[in-house]
Amino acid sequence: MALDTLLSRKAGVLAVIAAAGLTLTSIPSAARAEGVAQGRRAEAVRGTVADRLQDRTGAELAGAGAPALPAGVSARAWTVTDLRTGDVLAAKNAHQRLAPASTLKTLFAVTVLPKFRAQAVHKVAPKELAGIGPGSSLVGIQENRSYRVADLWRGVFLRSGNDAVRVLASMNGGWTATAREMQARARQLGARDTTVKSPDGYDSPGQVSSAYDLSVFGRTGLANADFAKYCATASARFPSSGSPAFGIRNTNRLLTGANGMRRYSGILGVKNGYTSNAGNTLVAAAERGGHRLLVTVLNPQSGASNAVYNEAASLLDWGFGAVGRTRPVGSLVAGAAAPGGRAAGPTADGAGGGDGGRTAGARPVAAQVSRQPGRWSETTLWAVAGGFAVALAAGAVFGWRMYVRGRQTPGDGR
């Protein structure tokens, strides 16, 4: 009987050890499975656009009948996107992280514009104009003067006024808070190449975006009627204290036809920029033949006058000739809204794109991806910990019962 008792006690201990071992053995498998799944989801977001070398022909991208990509596009990165579907028709270095200059104001507008009524009036305090970087473009906002919100936004879109951005950011809770909110909005939209340091796009250490992300911001912005109106405005009157309002003109030369450029036929506007670090940058949209396209062009290297505008125009021309005749090289993620307020639907590889009407209310792909792909998610850790606790408890109960049975044998005198 002593032997039976000993065996029963050993069986109980072994049951506890076995339960714990079984649970612990499952942890690496769960971690590996979660890591692989998150890695694939991250790749779906980061790899939605395949880079295409500039000298590849449309035929190589699409098959017979597609036009050749334009020669002489010297930009470090660019994309051509179908606005309706979110399909990227062609791209070069789409995810290369570069300084965005004032094209980052598209994200600023996407983040802040919906918060304030256009006819609301705000009086500018002197502190709201503090900190504007040297050499910044300005619309001419004056201290202690009241402006309508619509005037401030015209200052942002037409004159790329960093003073207007400062005032609107102050209304939004401050410069730093606005930068954080823009960063969060970018992630919500699936734009993972962007780091916001200065909401106006002014050169700041570590501030970057990409042709892909800026395309997401431009497309999302155009889904907002006010954004679309402001970015398409070629000229306006801006209020001034003690004198009549003065005229301001949009700095986007594809929209105005200024400085040796022709107004691009069907132009819908959006936003241009320049800093010494970023070079010339441009997000431009146009409509032709029932199709709407958006191009993003970053930092042309040719040194030619108006290079960013001419290269954007040539890519728009190519896109209008290629739409319907070329297979997309990728798509914008599901978080980016299509014009009209619809969300872009997911593609077969889990990235966004397609007709926005197909998957109304679809959850953005980016929302499903851990910030650190391959690491356990919070949900996974709780699930593993819960499973371990249950298995351990069950093993302990079983082991205790075996132990008690061993002590209650006749040889124990009970």
Known catalytic residues?
Answer: 102, 105, 160
Tokens, residue 191: 């734009």
Alpha helices in 47-121 (DSSP H): 58-62, 105-112
* DSSP notation for 241-284: TTEEEEEEE-S-HHHH--TT-PPPTTEEEEEEEEETTTEEEEEE
Tokens, residue 190: 């699936």
214, burial (CB in 10 Å: exposed 0-12, middle 13-18, buried 19+) = buried
Tokens, residue 374: 């391959």
In what helix (H) or strand (E) does residue 181 lie, and over which residues does it extend? helix 175-188
Tokens, residue 35: 């890591």
Q: At what angle do helices 105-112 and 149-159 cross, to 10 degrees?
A: 160
- Rounded Cα distance, 121 and 284, in Å: 30
Q: What's at 351, amino acid-wise?
A: A
- Rounded Cα distance, 103 and 278, in Å: 10
How many residues are given for the chain?
Answer: 414
